[in-house]
Chains A and B, each alone.
Chain A
Amino acid sequence: MAYVAVKGGAEAIEESIKRLTYERIHANELLELETITATMRGMVDQVMSESSLYSEFLAAIAIKQSEGNVEEAVFLLRAHRSTLPRTYYTRVVETNTMAVERRISASFKDIPGGQILGASYDYTHRLMDFDLIGESKAGMKEWVSQFLSEEIETTTNPDLTTLPKVVEYLRGEKLFSQIEDDNTEPIDVTKQSLQFPTTRSERLQVLTRGQTGAVTSLGYAAIRGFGQVHPTVGELRVGKLPLWISHPTEQSDDEENDYYIGEIKVTEVESFVPVSVQNENNTEEMEFEIGYGICYGQNETKAIAISILDHSLEVGKKEYPTQDEEFVLLHIDSVESSGFISHLKLPHYVTFQSKLDSMRKIKKESEK
């Protein structure tokens, strides 16, 4: 019997992947993972935040593998997390335990504990620094030792882990209502698909893992005109949060017996949004509400945009797309949006043939 072979894509795929490797390495330059974690802080932070997986080490591998393509790096990390067991949940992290590295408020000129600029691009003049062309290791070393040896004015007992929060100060003033801790168990969107209407925990989780650009754009739209949020940044903090987990099998709830496992860097924003509410006498009154944003690493615009969208979705009147939870939450995920857009590259000739058939028949019908 004769044998008929099919020649197809298998070889082409192999060659395509080889070609990709060639593109990455043909210039014969080696990028160490340490170089990425040490010098690409912004990219590493963005990748960790969008992939919802905190690991500078894995992010660096992903960035290297994807040649610096953030979308692809996020994709790699997300796929990798599907293969890892999730063994623990942390104790509830209270963000007032943050070791602050930067902290500002736009609401007050000065705040208890002070405006601390930390490391920020905000006041750099965005001029190209051509000195970077000839940067040398020796020069770097010298700069650092000079920096560290600079006289530090003695500030009495600095403790950046117990800075008071601006919102607490205003709550003391009764400008915000005191809110009891709400210990409702959150829903994990990675274990249970979104069901509308969503809970607050689902919204915050989707927002924090959202694509930076998408979240920023929608946050911008919400304050520019396609939404109704007019926020003031009450407090923006960048710093490290310590993590604790309880013993996996011991039943004791004694926190003294917890494991400390390390810390993660986050950006946290509380935006103050004036809203009008009806008071007891049925007259309108102004009150502040808080929009909350937090994300991995130092991603300040993203965290602020999250705080705007958080408030937008809490209002949720759907007059604007930015208040429509389905519109916002279903479209900001990097892996989902880039995946579906890119699937348009797949062949569609069967569906196209079907469409052609339908159109030809309609044409015939109208010619009758």
Chain B
Amino acid sequence: MSRLLEVKDLSKSFIIHHLTKKMTAIETINFSLEEGEFIGIVGKSGSGKSTVLKSIYRTYLPEKGSILYNSEKFGLVDLAKLSEREVLYLRQHEIGYVSQFLNVMPRTTARELVEQAVIEMGRPKDEARQAAEDALTHFELDPELWDSYPNTFSGGQKLRLNISCAIVKKPRLLLLDEPTASLDDASKLRVREIIERLKIGGTTLIGIFHDLEFMDGLCDKVYDLQKKIVV
């Protein structure tokens, strides 16, 4: 096993100009992750769990520290300082991000959405089509929904679509940002099964989950944001 990700002294604060205020979200975070591992991040609400994931994904600009990632394409890189172009490449090929929210074009069908993700990686259209169908089947989205617009989906359906989009690219690292937050128990269970399958398939994962029970037995290790230690 080799190291896939190492977060070193990561800090992030936000300057709110119109309030002339600086809000610190996380400070000197340190943890690392081996290939194939699943790390869970815990901490009470507002402790900055999501900030950590968004910093890794670069939706937030990391302020201090480094996020070393061992890329298949670029070798060892610091995600905190990597060029936007390279971040975009990694997003398309190596790092996936799943949240409970679905951000999609209004007139795009579920099938097209998953296809897009493959096409963005530069694959031909028919290959994308096949991959999309496989993913949607795999994540048990009712085929009747494939050609309708996702705005109308239930929370669980949206999430499974989200995961399909992320997974279809076969990312090496998948970031799960409270994907189950608004799901009922039955749906949660299905998501858990999906994650287990991913893990078995060798995907490296970082997850934040609203309820700690959900993480039980799923994570290899857990990082506590308040104590700043891996438990």
Q: Let me know if chains A and B touch directly in the complex, using CB atoms closer than 8 Å.
A: no
